A = this chain, B = another copy of it.
Amino acid sequence: MLRQGSLKRHVGPRIAGVRLAATAAGIRYQGRDDLVLLELPSGAQTCAVLTTNAFCAAPVQLTRTHLRRGQPRYLLINAGNANAGTGARGLADAETCCKALASAADCAPEQVLPFSTGVIGEYLPVQRVAGALPRLLDELREDGWNAAARAIMTTDTRPKTAAVRCDLGGAEASVVGMAKGAGMIRPDMATMLAFVATDAAVRSVLLNELLRAAVADTFNAISVDGDTSTNDACVLCAAGTLPGGSVVTGSAAAAALAKAVHEVCERLATAIVRDGEGATKLVTIEVVEAGTAAEARAVADSIAHSPLVKTALFASDPNWGRILAAVGRAGVCALDIARVRIWLDDALIASGGCRDPGYTEAAGRAVMARDAFRIRVALGRGHAKARVITCDLSYDYVRINAEYRT
């Protein structure tokens, strides 16, 4: 018993001063947690990257406003209902939840950031959310990350957490994150939520830089710039509970922390792709030798978003013609196809505008049979590059999304 109790108290990662709780509020699902509260210590710094979708959800609008006004103390996150496409009433509903929590926890409503994910266009059951707040406040605990990660899932098949430690020169800092998201034919289609925290003390400007740098190369490398769902959000909190002063911009500690935040975001982003709806393969698209980064990204996106390429990936069919066609239609100005080379992992499949003379179908099939591999395209135009992580398109993608509301 002692041992079991001991285990229970120390399950999963933790950030000193950051406490979480999850509960079943009955928002949409039966028999599972669907509401999460994350508490930050006084003095914590928080920043976020939020969706640019014009139809952004009520909680996103409110989070944007609250982030401008005050230092957040609570993140309130629900699954099952996106509170998007709900107009003025949706906004009022989100405000009501923030006020109810502020009242119960003795903080200002502006210190609560609301997040929602799930079905669009239905009103949030505010009473059920409010009714669950007292028990959430009672059950806050530092090792609540795993339970919280499970409670924010929608079509995800598994919870996603990541934890990394880093040496800030004297003190060892922790970075812990959780994420949900599994709509992966294009990641802009389904809500992606990610919450990352560190115990390091980081001022607002640097914290923003850390988050934006990490997101650009991780969560945004599984997405299209500006192409986001109504609810996408990625939040980074610095609890400031680690002994020692604030991490200073340009210092070795800042670099170490940046690396750790990047690593956590990378692991979570990869976990989202691996859990892609119906996905059976994790495919990294790398484009190199591009004239500009934008051109590299356009080619990577053209491949990553091609349903014909993605169904071929699902079939483990090294149909390189479809990759070639996707490169060709990416809109690269005056592309010299004779200079383009395409690899599946280390197998050179196309060069000189056609199948490489050394390529064999067997070599292509061997790579395609792997559950994770790389499509690499060299454009022969310059030194810019881009990377996008994607997955295949399977029957299950159609099933999951055809049956989502039924």
A367 smallest CB distance to B (angstroms)? 16
A314 nearest in chain B by CB position: B402
**Docked complex: A366-406 residues within 8 A CB-CB of B:** 393-395, 397-399, 401-406
A56 touches B328 (CB 8 A): yes
**Residue-by-residue, is A299-319 near B (CB-CB < 8 Å gives 1, otherwise 0)?**
000000011100110110101
Q: How far is the CB of A278 from chain B (nearest CB, A)?
A: 9
Cβ contact within 8 Å between B53 and A321: no
Q: Of A164-172, A174-182, A252-260, A331-339, which binds chain B?
A: A331-339
Residues of B within 8 A of A230 (CB): 321, 324-325, 328
Q: With A85-B355, A189-B306, A321-B82 in contact, is A54–B327 under 8 Å at CB?
A: yes
Q: CB-CB < 8 A to A405: which residues of B?
A: 317, 319
- Chain B residues positioned under 8 Å from A29 (CB to CB): none
- List A residues 190-244 near B (Cβ within 8 Å): 190, 226-230
Check if A325 sits within 8 Å of B229, measured CB to CB.
yes
Q: Which residue of B lies closest to A355 (CB)?
A: B121
How long is the Cα–Cα vector from A120 to B312 in the complex, in angstroms? 13
**Complex-state Cα separation, A372 to B233, whole angstroms:** 37
**A120 contact set on B, CB distance < 8 A:** 319, 321-322, 324-325
Q: Are B308 and A401 in contact (CB under 8 A)?
A: yes
Chain B residues near A128: list those with CB within 8 A. Answer: none
Query: Given the complex of chains A and B, what is the CA–CA distance between A312 and B405 in angstroms?
Result: 9
User: With a CB–CB cut-off of 8 A, which chain B residues contact A189?
Assistant: 306-308, 322, 325
Which single member of B52, B55, B320 contacts A337 (CB below 8 Å)?
A: B55
Q: Of B121, B322, B395, B404, which is within 8 A of A324 by CB?
A: B121
A interface, CB within 8 angstroms of B = 52-56, 82, 84-90, 119-121, 183, 185-186, 188-190, 226-230, 306-308, 311-312, 314-315, 317, 319-322, 324-325, 327-329, 331-332, 335, 337, 350, 352-355, 393-395, 397-399, 401-406
Copies of this chain, complex-wide, total: 2
Which residues on the B side are within 8 Å of A90 (C-beta)? 354
Contact call A53/B329, Cβ cutoff below 8 A: yes
Contact of A329 among B188, B306, B332, B401 (CB under 8 A): B188
A sample of 10 more A-B contacts (CB under 8 A), given A188-B329, A315-B401, is A85-B350, A87-B353, A88-B353, A120-B325, A189-B306, A226-B329, A227-B329, A307-B401, A311-B398, A395-B395
Does the CB pair B395–A399 fall under 8 Å?
yes
**Could you say which residues of chain B place their CB within 8 Å of the CB of A227?**
329
B residues less than 8 Å from A395 (CB atoms):
395, 398-399
By a CB distance below 8 angstroms, the chain B residues around A328 are 53-56, 230
Q: Return A323 CB to nearest CB of chain B, in Å.
A: 9
A317-B402, A398-B314 known; A89-B53 Cβ under 8 A: no
Contact B325 A55 (CB under 8 A): yes
Q: Which residues of B contact A308 (CB under 8 A)?
A: 183, 185, 189-190, 401
B401 adjacent to A394 (CB under 8 Å): no
Residue of B nearest to A302 (CB): B227
Bound form: Cα–Cα A229–B321 in Å = 11
Q: How far is the CB of A384 from chain B (nearest CB, A)?
A: 17
A226 to chain B: which residues have CB within 8 Å?
Answer: 329, 331
**B residues in contact with A54, CB < 8 Å:** 327-329, 332, 335, 337
Distance in angstroms between the alpha carbons of A87 and B357 in the assembled complex: 11
The 5 nearest A-B residue pairs measured at CB: A120-B321, A55-B328, A87-B354, A315-B402, A311-B401
